[in-house]
């Protein structure tokens, strides 16, 4: 008999994953090239050759040692190279002790939440939000508090609502920049305003409130947009990073958590996060992949490829009459349902073998998310179907 908590999770299993599985079935029926699967953020860009070369080199030169357990927080030399790379890029002053290697951002978020949450404490998220946040928070008996989607202001969150929802149960605020699913990038003035509110509320409530910055898309920005490096703005910041998207290796499960010295009781928090890695059963980040990313800390996959996809899809969908948020980062296009019903939109799109995710699952009704990290040809081939869909809606 499965637990009551798990029954709930099974019932509400990820819509994104369901779509992904459905896509695989449709491809068997109609053929790979006739299904336009925009469900999952699975990068199709080539993995940088340095990644594959490093794997081969490590397997040749360290074949007897590379597959062993590591310390819970990861190899020291790897953590050191991550710190050095960040310092070079952002003019910061981190060292290996500030870094804990993780099994991607998903486990990074889990070990952070496990380390900071007491029962019924609240974590605030901005809708639309990455749908997994809810189960991660609830895994540790926390409560998710949702700031409503700010459709009228390009989905830049309303900070007045944030301020009104911080109380003596608040333990954290999760920010995701660039944003999945909107593709919006929060600029420096937004980050400054957010930080000011958190500083004020920490003082007023006399409690630590962590800003958890979930940054798998940090490098994926367009048109010269800049993502402010968040530790500079608010002391109690914890950064969760992933190489899934920047190196196009999501199946390899590698990332890190960064806790700067300025975080209150940072040493205790780093110890807790390190032990949480073991407690939730991750033990340590994959050894081979730690060494690989350490050799690739300063590179990314070719962001131009996503930009090309973005430009084609955005311009064509606009031309066909769809209302879309112009993506500034990440690789998602947020499209308004012509009827206001996102689930109906996703079902209707499926008739044309187009798979998109209704944004109700991200806490925002009325939109769907299109993950355009596909091959360019998938986008090109899908255009006729999008056009027919627009015609069916009568918006073209």
| Shortest spacing between CB 253 and ligand PLP, in angstroms | 7
106 binds ligand PLP (CB under 6 A): yes
Q: How far apart are CA 189 and CA 342, in angstroms?
A: 32
In the list 19, 23, 35, 41, the residue contacting ligand PLP (rule: CB under 6 A) is 41
Minimal CA–CA distance to 286: which of 248, 245, 249?
Answer: 249
Q: Is the peptide bond before 36 cis (omega within 30 degrees of 0)?
A: no
Is 244 a binding residue for ligand PLP by CB under 6 A? The answer is yes
Instruction: Find the part of the chain contacting ligand PLP (CB under 6 A) among 44-52, 104-112, 267-275, 304-312.
Output: 104-112
* Residue 37 binds ligand PLP (CB under 6 A): no
Residue 146, beta-bridge partner list: 125
| Distance of closest approach, residue 279 Cβ to ligand PLP, in angstroms | 18
Show Cβ contacts of residue 348 under 8 Å, excluding neighbours closer than 6 positions: 389, 392, 393
The minimum distance between CB 250 and ligand PLP, in angstroms, equals: 5
**Residues listed for the chain:** 396
CA–CA gap between residue 183 and residue 171 (Å, rounded): 26
Greatest CA separation for the chain:
63
Per rule CB under 6 A, is residue 250 in the interface with ligand PLP? yes
The residues in 109-138 that bind ligand PLP, with binding defined as CB under 6 A, are 130
Does 286 interact with ligand PLP (rule: CB under 6 A)? Answer: no
Give, as ranges, the residues between 311 and 350 that touch ligand PLP (CB under 6 A): none
Enumerate residues 6+ apart whose C-beta is below 8 A from 194. Answer: 159, 162, 173, 175, 186, 211, 233, 234
Q: If we measure between CA atoms, which residue out of 241, 369, 245, 242 comes closest to residue 305?
A: 245
Q: How many residues bind ligand PLP (CB under 6 A)?
A: 13
- 182 contributes a contact to ligand PLP by CB under 6 A: no
Nearer to ligand PLP, 41 or 338 (CB): 41
Asked if 246 touches ligand PLP (CB under 6 A), the answer is: no
Nearest to 130, CA basis, from 152, 104, 153: 104
Residues 197-216, one symbol each (x = binds ligand PLP by CB under 6 A, - = not), give -----------------x-x
Q: How far is the CB of 175 from ligand PLP (least distance, A)?
A: 10
End-to-end alpha-carbon separation of the chain, Å? Answer: 52
The least distance separating ligand PLP from the CB of residue 276, rounded to whole angstroms, comes to 16
Binding residues vs ligand PLP (CB under 6 A): 41, 104-106, 130, 176, 180, 214, 216, 242, 244, 250, 255
């Amino acid at each position: 008999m499965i637990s009551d908590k798990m029954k709930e999770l099974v019932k509400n299993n990820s819509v994104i994953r369901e779509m992904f599985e459905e896509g695989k079935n449709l491809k068997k029926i109609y053929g790979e090239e006739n299904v336009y699967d925009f469900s999952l953020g699975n990068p199709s860009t080539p993995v940088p050759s340095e990644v594959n070369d490093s794997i081969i080199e490590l397997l040749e030169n360290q074949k007897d040692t590379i597959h062993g357990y590591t310390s819970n927080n990861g190899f020291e030399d790897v953590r050191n190279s991550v710190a050095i790379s960040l310092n070079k890029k952002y003019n910061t002053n981190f060292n290996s002790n500030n870094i804990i290697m993780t099994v991607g951002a998903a486990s990074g978020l889990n070990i952070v939440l496990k380390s900071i949450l007491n029962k019924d404490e609240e974590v605030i998220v901005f809708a639309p939000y990455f749908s997994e946040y809810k189960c991660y928070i609830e895994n540790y008996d926390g409560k998710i508090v949702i700031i409503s989607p700010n459709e009228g202001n390009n989905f830049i969150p309303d900070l007045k609502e944030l301020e009104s929802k911080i109380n003596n149960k608040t333990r954290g605020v999760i920010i995701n920049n660039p944003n999945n699913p909107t593709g919006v990038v929060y600029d420096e003035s937004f980050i400054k305003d957010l930080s000011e509110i958190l500083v004020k509320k920490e003082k007023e409530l006399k409690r630590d409130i962590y800003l958890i910055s979930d940054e798998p898309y940090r490098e994926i920005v367009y048109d010269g947009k800049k993502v402010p490096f968040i530790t500079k703005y608010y002391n109690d910041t914890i950064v969760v990073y992933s190489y899934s998207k920047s190196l196009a290796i999501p199946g390899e499960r590698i990332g890190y958590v960064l806790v700067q010295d300025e975080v209150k009781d940072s040493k205790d928090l780093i110890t807790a996060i390190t032990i949480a890695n073991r407690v939730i059963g991750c033990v340590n980040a994959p050894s081979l992949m730690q060494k690989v990313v350490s050799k690739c800390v300063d590179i990314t996959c070719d962001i131009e490829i996503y930009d090309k996809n973005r430009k084609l899809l955005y311009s064509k969908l606009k031309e066909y009459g769809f209302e879309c948020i112009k993506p500034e980062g990440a690789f998602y296009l947020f499209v308004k349902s012509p009827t206001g019903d996102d689930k109906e939109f996703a079902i209707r799109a499926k008739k044309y073998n187009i798979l998109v995710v209704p944004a109700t699952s991200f806490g925002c009704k009325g939109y769907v998310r299109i993950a355009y990290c596909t091959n360019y040809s998938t986008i090109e081939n899908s255009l006729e179907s999008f056009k027919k869909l627009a015609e069916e809606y009568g918006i073209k």
